[in-house]
A and B are shown apart, each in its own frame.
Chain A
Amino acid sequence: MAERTEVVFVDGVRTPFGRAGEKGMYWQTRADDLVVKAMKGLLDRNPGLDPAEIDDVAIAATTQTGDQGLTLGRTTALLAGLPRSVPGYAIDRMCAGAMTSVTTVAGAIAFGAYDFALAGGVEHMGRHPMGFDADPNPRFLTERLVSAEALNMGNTAERIHDRFPQLTKERSDRYALRSQQKLAAAYDGEHIQPDLVSVAVKTDAGWGLADRDEAPRPETTLEGLSTLRTPFRPHGRVTAGNSSGLNDGATVSLIASEQAAVRAGLTPKMRLVSFAFMGVEPEIMGIGPVPSTEKALRKAGLTIDDIGLFELNEAFAVQVLSLLDHFGIDDDDPRVNPWGGAIAVGHPLASSGVRLMIQLARQFELHPEVRYGLTAMCVGLGQGGSVIWENPHFDGKATR
């Protein structure tokens, strides 16, 4: 009989995130190679782990064709030099791909089927624009199951602005500005760099080395943000400045049973408490994390007041604000995305979930007074995903 166990996040790394497109640093770099670099980087810094003991490899991508096709978990494991006995598979839940990789292998670990698993995601949005080559069922339109507008994420963000008039463009812009500033401060504090795996990138001007994120615009100003055009609607509120961009990048994490990790001499960085995914109206997919967070809290027997740190994916500023408003949290609450978020660092769709976890894990280390943290994100076609983590460094003196 398999033994049920606690599930821990042992470690996670990511490639620097690049800007998608011909001018982006990864234009000539394959998506699967991004995963391989991250995977090797993760294994190299956890020498205590015998690669043969990895029970599975789950890698997510939204558009699973071309260099993101062919069962990424298996191909990247082979390419990274893992033993051939290590199996692997691919995952897709759009933006929550990597998050779903983690929760899926976590289920297998909790059940006792696995001891160690690699979970991550990749998106090369330069090579694979979102929804490219997809063939939505015509019933979506003929039966008005999902409005055509809901397939465009920017429109769904505009609709959240419509639904919650208190979420103004000014608040979104201000939030976006803070995201840029907080990320720049985190870079200055060397909080981001330790978990980046450098990637050698081929360009027309020779080989280079990608060793930091390409997307951040620390020079952003409120004035600059207010003048950006609103591409999704005339006189709209969603701009390139208060949304995440189109990016390339990959993340990989090591998830394990607590006993196996300790046996291998590894120090877990987070303990999994609960997770939940929920569906919402696709037309306002951005509010997805609200019900999924409520469900995850309910499953954990916690309330929102128990959460000391939030890592929320900033697909759109308004979408994060809708969650904060729902739970009565201030826009500038220091517990929320202390190192900025996807608006600044970028959002390579299926890779972002593990980025949230990487950052939460590092913040746990710096905040032993915090016991619980939340990673949450919205998902296209109307979903939300939330994972609640416990801080193993918690010193018991917390007020929260």
Chain B
Amino acid sequence: MSVDTSQLVELSADEVVTHSYVRDVNLASGGVLALVTLDNDRDHRRPSTLGPATLIEFSSTMDVLRGRAAAGEIQAIGVTGKPYFLAAGADLSKVGQIPSRDAGKQMAMLGHDALGKLHDAGVPTFVFINGLALGGGMEIALNADYRTVDATAPALAFPEVFLGIIPGWGGAWLLPNLIGIENALKVIVENPLKNNRTLKAKEAFDLGIADAIFGSASFLEESLAWADKVVHGAVRVTRPNVPGKIERAVKWDAAIGIARKTLQSRIGTVAKSPYAALDLLAGAKRASREEGFAAEDEALADLVSGDQFRASIYAFDLVQKRAKHPAGAPSPTSRGRSRKSASSAQDSWRRSSRCCSSASSRCRSSSPTSIRRASTRASPASARPSTSCRPRVASAATSRTD
């Protein structure tokens, strides 16, 4: 591990680790793809999240695979998730506890280091977005060379700005350089501020976030067959939305300028994260990958250890966690849940509260832009345990497996 993680180790003591399982898959036209499955070994009620221990395991897994690639043992690397989820992003319970700016920076650098190993791996790398991908989940995909997406993936999004931080594991630099500045502004700044709007799979594909889209009936099989064709040159990937010279020279700064003015008129200038995101997106025009990632490290370190993010997570917990699971209420285990998942009331409360997928809900009250209002008077929406605040994604997953 090339990154200092000393301050994160304590945080990850009780982390629900998302493991990186590896199995080799034979490609039809010869060669081997090492397929990494991200799986926290829990059922669909606990989406895979990315905490420090998860990233460290992913990083060392990638080290092994890069070694095998160099030795000529494998011809491609693929990453996918457990059923219904690629990854629901950073483990909010961990990110919310980051004690200092130093620890925040370590978290940012750890993410960059781990996910960045999907870049320049020596063989083509693929991420098969088989389901929900939020924040860090999206950044796993963006760090790879190629992406496919399941047409039924319920949500793809960067909820960071909604929570008071920025996409800090490569997203703020990679996305505009993949899909253009205007699209990136929409996904990273505009959508989170529109009640945390998310993208459907088809929208993500149309924006150029994914290179191919397949139905869910045989998503992984078709993705592997497609990857085979890319590896062997039978398919050439074209990306019409990658910004060209003109876009960089003319459109880029203008788009940032318009976005900044719009932001100022709509939400004022107190909330920091949208402006930090704007600065990163503006810098992504010229910055190299390394410079872009370094800028993200600094910005994330500032925000994740700051007051606004703390307040945002507090508000988020109030309207998500407390509304769904009031403190002291009887455990849902008494309603006949399966043995496997049933445990103590406290355990189940903690498990569900850590789930970052709630960030995908269109909850109206805990946006960082409304932190000020929420702190001075109880917002009506936040006081009501509203059904509209239920995590849409989790409930969709439930109904699919019923």
Contact = CB atoms under 8 A, between A and B. Distances in A.
Q: Are A and B genuine complex partners?
A: yes
Interface of A: 36-37, 40-41, 79-81, 197-200, 202-209, 211
A81 B218 CA distance: 11
Interface of B: 21-23, 25-26, 28, 35-37, 39, 41, 80, 82-83, 215, 217-221, 224
B77 to A, nearest CB: 13
Pairs A-B, 9 closest by C-beta atoms: A206-B21, A206-B37, A200-B220, A208-B23, A209-B25, A207-B37, A206-B23, A205-B21, A200-B221
B220 A207 contact: yes
A329 to B, nearest CB: 38
A80 B25 contact: no
A356 to B, nearest CB: 25
Contact of B23 (A37, A79, A197, A203): A203
B35 A37 contact: no
B82 to A, nearest CB: 8
A80 B217 CA distance: 6
B25 A202 contact: no
11 contacts: A36-B218, A40-B218, A41-B218, A200-B220, A200-B221, A204-B21, A206-B37, A207-B37, A209-B25, A209-B35, A211-B28
Contacts of B36: 206
B215 A81 contact: yes
A37 B39 contact: no
Contacts of B220: 200, 207, 209
B221 A199 contact: yes
Contacts of B28: 198, 211
B261 to A, nearest CB: 46
Contacts of A36: 217-218
Contacts of A37: 217-218, 221
Contact of A206 (B35, B217, B221): B35
- Which of B21, B36, B215 has its CB near the most chain A CB atoms (within 10 A)? B21
Contacts of B83: 202
Nearest to B22: A206
A33 B101 CA distance: 49
A205 B80 CA distance: 13
Nearest to B78: A207
A258 to B, nearest CB: 30
Q: Which of A36, A37, A204, A206 has the most CB of B within 10 A?
A: A206
A207 B80 contact: yes
Given A40-B217, A205-B37, A207-B220, 5 more contacts: A197-B221, A198-B28, A200-B220, A204-B21, A211-B28
A207 B217 contact: no
A208 B39 contact: no
Q: Which of A36, A203, A206, A207 has the most CB of B within 10 A?
A: A207
A201 to B, nearest CB: 9
Contacts of B82: 202
Given A202-B83, A203-B23, A209 B224 contact: yes
Contact of A198 (B21, B215, B219, B221): B221
A79 B215 CA distance: 11
Contacts of A80: 217
Contacts of A202: 82-83
B38 to A, nearest CB: 9
A37 B224 CA distance: 14
Contacts of B25: 208-209
A37 B222 CA distance: 11
B36 to A, nearest CB: 7
Nearest to A37: B218
B329 to A, nearest CB: 34
Contacts of A41: 218
Nearest to A199: B221
Nearest to A208: B23
A199 B37 CA distance: 16
Given A202-B83, A203-B23, A208 B35 contact: yes
A202 B25 CA distance: 13
Contact of B218 (A200, A207, A211): A200
A209 B221 contact: yes
B23 A207 contact: yes
A207 B215 contact: no
A207 B221 contact: no
A204 B23 CA distance: 11
Contacts of A204: 21, 41
A209 B22 contact: no
Contacts of A198: 28, 221, 224
A4 to B, nearest CB: 36
Contact of A211 (B22, B26, B217, B219): B26
